[in-house]
Amino acid sequence: MKPFKGERIFTPGPVEIPDRIREVLGRQIIHHRTPEFTEAFLETRELFKQLVDCKEDNFVFFASSGTGAMEASVLNFFEEGDKVIAVVGGKFGERWVELGKRWKLKVVELEVEWGKSVDPEAVERLLKENPDTKGVLVQASETSTGVYHDIKALADITRDSDALLVVDAITALGVYSIKPHEWGVDVLVSGSQKAFMLPPGLSMLWFSERAKSQLTDRAYYFNVREELKKQTEGQTAFTPAISLILGLREALLILLEEGMDKVESRYRLISKGMERAMETLGLSIFPKNPSISLTTVKPEDISSEALRKEMLKLGVRVAGGQGKLKGRIFRISHMGMDITDMPVVLSVLEIALKRLGYRVEFGSSVGAYLEAISAGLGYE
């Protein structure tokens, strides 16, 4: 019995698109070589500056998914043969390694047990052993395991070294109030279909003054220097993802109207509520230091795939595991969700568990969630 209104999407990318953004995306296209586009583009850039809490114009947008901006980081800030440390504790950490190797960097892999955060001291030790390191590549929120790596602590280490800190914040920027300039991050990457609540196809790449001084010209399409020159003038080197840029302006307005501190508090509250809900159901949270962007669950004696499929029958899509976690976990995204959206997914989870023979007291997880939420709710 599928709900007639269609599927609810609780996957960590793509995420559901708020009505305000859908209204903008539904409009007729405008041409990009016009004052109208330039004005909207420059306004979007001003809003993005507010989001990253930075006065400088050091960022570009690309028409690509998030991985494009990851590749751009590898190409624009490093030369062939440069040594980099990649933190590998999940599928997206592995992507840094693959990208680095493909572009002929010397990649030193810092293996982290999947489900755990990197120990900043381990990075510090490895940097001491490899003083010629030019970069440390890491995820903020490792979406494949649901872990948050402590970016602030890592920046405290890299800022006193010659290594640039390159952060894939694809499921972190727009959820956490990240201040790359203040924290000492050098390169920050994001993508449209996660915390920005847009369709896929737009990526963002922010960089520090230090990183800017090391720009290379190895890339053509993803050339940061050329894009930056155009984009600060309100244009782009190639045809931009026009509708997504206009959508991004709306997304940034939504985030900034709520305020990034409050956005982060909302996601923290959802995260806490979901943790209590899973506890009540006897389901364990997989990561040790969970990202507040998603809830990652590792059921003990029930197949996560069976559960995911059962939930889909009731019109709720959650994500399974990736790589070596395939079939072992399921993931529920919080991105683009209000606190009142989560009881939907919990209700469907309860029904799915029951149908798979699990003992459930109906309403128990929803009740635990609501308890946690109302305890943490500030009314204005």
Cα-based angle 135, 137, 140 (whole degrees, multiple of 5): 140
**CA atoms of 96 and 265, how far apart (whole Å):** 30
**Sign of the torsion angle spanned by Cα atoms 153, 154, 158, 159:** negative
Contact partners, residue 288, CB within 8 Å, separation at least 6 = 115, 116, 117, 147
Looking at the Cβ atoms of 116 and 355, the one nearer to ligand PLP is 116
Please report how close the Cβ of residue 69 comes to ligand PLP at its closest, in angstroms.
8
- From candidates 8, 21, 24, 66, binder to ligand PLP by CB under 6 A: 66
Count other C-beta atoms under 10 Å from residue 225's C-beta: 13
Task: Identify residues 189-248 at the interface with ligand PLP (CB under 6 A).
Answer: 191, 194, 200
In the complex with ligand PLP, which residue's Cβ is closer, 330 or 369? 330
Strand 147-148 with 133-139, pairing: unpaired
* Helix, strand, coil percentages, rounded to 5, for the chain: 45, 15, 40
The amino acid at residue 203 is S
Is residue 148 at the binding interface for ligand PLP, with CB under 6 A as the rule? Answer: no
Number of residues that bind ligand PLP (CB under 6 A): 13
171 part of the interface to ligand PLP, by CB under 6 A: yes
User: How many angstroms separate the CA atoms of 121 and 101, rounded?
Assistant: 25
Closest to ligand PLP by CB, 93 or 299: 93
Q: Structure tokens of 364?
A: 């128990």
Which one of 61, 78, 92, 267 is in contact with ligand PLP (CB under 6 A)? 92
Instruction: Tell me the per-residue interface mask from 321 to 360 with ligand PLP, x by CB under 6 A, - otherwise.
Output: ----------------------------------------
> Smallest gap, in angstroms, from Cβ of residue 378 to ligand PLP?
29
Q: 75: part of which helix (H) or strand (E)?
A: helix 66-77
Give least dist CB 70 to ligand PLP, A. Answer: 6
- Which residue carries 């583009």 as its tokens? 41
Cβ nearer to ligand PLP, comparing 201 with 367: 201
CB of 88 to ligand PLP, least distance (A): 13
Q: Is 67 in the site for ligand PLP (CB under 6 A)?
A: yes
Q: Indicate the residue among 170 and 349 with the shorter CB distance to ligand PLP.
A: 170
- Smallest distance, Å, CB 143 to ligand PLP? 3
Cα angle, residue 101 at apex, residues 159 and 112 outer, rounded to 5°: 60
Annotated binding-site residues read 331
Specify the amino acid at residue 288.
Answer: K
Residues binding ligand PLP (CB under 6 A): 13, 65-67, 92, 139, 143, 168, 170-171, 191, 194, 200
